[in-house]
Amino acid sequence: MHTMSHNASMATPFQKVLIANRGEIALRVMRSARALGYRTVAVYSTADAQASHVHAADEAVCIGEPLPAQSYLNIPAILEAAKLSGADAIHPGYGFLAENENFAAACRDACLVFIGPSPQAIVSMGDKAGAKRLMIDAGVPCIPGYQGADQSAANLAAQAELLGYPVMIKATAGGGGRGMRLVQHGQEFAELLRSAQSEALNAFGDATVILERAIVEPRHIEIQVFADRHGHAIHLGERDCSVQRRHQKVVEEAPSPAVDAALRERMGATAVAAVQAIGYEGAGTLEFLLDRDGNFYFMEMNTRLQVEHPVTEAITGLDLVAWQLRIAAGEPLPLTQADLHCQGHAIEVRLCAEDVPRGFMPQSGVMRRWQLPDGVRVEHALHSGAVIPPYYDSMVAKLIAHGSSRDEARRKLLRALHDLVALGVTTNQAFLSRCLAHPVFAAGEATTAFIAQNEADLLHVAASAQSQAAAVAAWLLHRTAGHHADANTHAHMHSESGRQLAHALPMGMRLQIQGHDVQVSVTQTAPHDFVLRMGEVQHSITAVNVTQHEARFVLDRVMQQVAFEREGHHLWLLHQGQPYEVLDRTRMASARQGETGGDGKVRATMNGRVVAIAVAVGDQVQAQQPLVTLEAMKMEHVHAAPVAGKVVALHVVDGEQVQAHRVVVEIEAAGLVAQAASH
């Protein structure tokens, strides 16, 4: 930054802000920037050419190929985009380059205002060992530990004994839970140290670790701080981020149910002292662990805006991104500590594209139907038909509810999750509802161990709910299977006698719901009345009104409605807050191999990258011969020929990312032509 005499001017004005990020945070930053009169520039990878943040900006520049290293982490390409568009400031959002000191320094060297702290502040807080030493010097309580230079296995083992077990091993360059191990006993120390160091070396290029005494079942409490270049610093209270899995936050709230006014004042004053000790500027967050006895310990500092900043905005009524922009331009903080007043309670959940029962595996694909609930704030970059690419973080939206009490905020958020329509890509929507509804969370007693300790409850879907959803799905698919698709409007309600249906035959259907096969028999007993049987279980449905995307009906004497999306044999359904993916296999050839059809079309069984193609167009193949290999989440899946025949089409190239259910190879088998004609 230009060196300026303090009395002349401390201002660094700018006119046009480039947002070096994507998705919901890019849109969030643009909203505040535009409100303050700034022009905005988006950057995008080739995978994001049609993304919402690109359309929302005044200008947009493509910065490279889909992989983050080729685009959103490509510092020269981002600086070039600023130059091309005439942007004079850069906001990094969070993730990607937000805490990269080289990026902050490169912006300053290019005479661009970096909307964030100085490169020195990022460096000093980015190294866990160095940050801890700084905090101890500033009088901030830290977890007892070892952050010394002697990294020999023998010395580290001796230090762990001195600290007393359980002990945490943490990579100093780490984040996101990588290079982190909990050691319960001395005999497992050597092996866990080795695995933590190798993981740290692979993830960050640095095997250095620190040791800390493990705090058992703590709360994760963070304090939001802001500091300007005029020497002022304040805190905006705390957020409780205890509900997490594998060190990734799932639910965040403000204020914390575990923090009273006296503790808030102590933690806040500590955080302010810490940022003043390092001459910090901008938004930052100090993360602490709070033990059962009310002792708190510094864990790390995030030198950027946090994903969960909206809960603080909700209770303070402030726009934290606007504050970041004002401070970066050289303005003093808009408030003093005494001016700050918080109201009510706010809770946020992170909606992620992931398959919860399958180990929270990240998902990608097309969000076919996206409809927001009323009464809550939703930060997102989606619309019906939006593509969720497989290259970036799995978080696709955040829902934030604000209420006069914690329970009111919790109820509002539960209601919103029940009403949110997100069909086409598997998400953690129902899992989030179960977290919020759990008695431990409802009582305000969740610690960082909450998800692990209650996993069985949180992953459980009641059999009765699944059975009802299967009945609704079978009914909806049955409606459009025959020729009675128009017999569902009010006009027909009483006009048909139903006498011709007296001997209605049950129709057998084979469905796949959430990957499980279900046999359903459907009997139409009157124009609008259906009986659905699955083994011993029976449900009755009376149609009330069905449109293209919504259905209202009476299920077992209770009137309900569902949102759905239909495409061929595929049905996506939101029933009682739980989304279901259903495949109608009734008319598909029964001798199926995975997703590969008797129709000769081989479909991808999951979203993945093509790593091998074993055939070419024109090749003769045998049944079960390997055709294409996909890699998803570091596992390889071979797709084989369903029938013997000739390869007539190959729809993929090596290295390409494909979506689940997409046709990858077509095979023409003998006798298939006659079969096709009969359909």
| Active site residues per annotation | 304
Which amino acid, 227? A
Cα 444 to chain centroid, rounded: 23
Give me 546's structure tokens: 């069905």
Give me 366's structure tokens: 């097309």
Between vectors from CA 289 to CA 121 and to CA 392, what angle results, nearest 5°? 60
State how far the alpha carbon of 596 is from the alpha carbons of 601, 637, 655, in Å.
6, 13, 21
**226: closest CA among 308, 320, 312?**
320
Q: What is the DSSP letter of 593?
A: B
Residues contacting residue 450 through CB under 8 Å, at least 6 positions apart: 242, 243, 435, 438, 440, 441
* Pairing state between β 507-513 and 578-584: antiparallel
| Neighbouring C-beta atoms of residue 182, cutoff 10 Å | 13
Sign of the CA dihedral 431, 302, 309, 242? positive
Gap between the Cα atoms of 17 and 114, Å rounded: 10
Q: Write the burial class of residue 510 (CB in 10 Å: 0-12 exposed, 13-18 middle, 19+ buried).
A: middle
Q: Return the exposure string of 294-308: e unless at least 16 CB atoms fall within 10 Å of the residue's CB, then b.
A: eebbbbbbbbbbbbb
Radius of gyration of the chain (CA): 28
Q: What is the DSSP letter of 142?
A: B
Query: Tokens 């982490």 belong to which residue?
Result: 73
**243: closest CA among 302, 311, 192, 179?**
311
* Pairing state between β 89-91 and 16-19: parallel
Residues contacting residue 561 through CB under 8 Å, at least 6 positions apart: 550, 551, 552, 553
Gap between the Cα atoms of 23 and 147, Å rounded: 37
Query: Tokens 């505040």 belong to which residue?
Result: 32
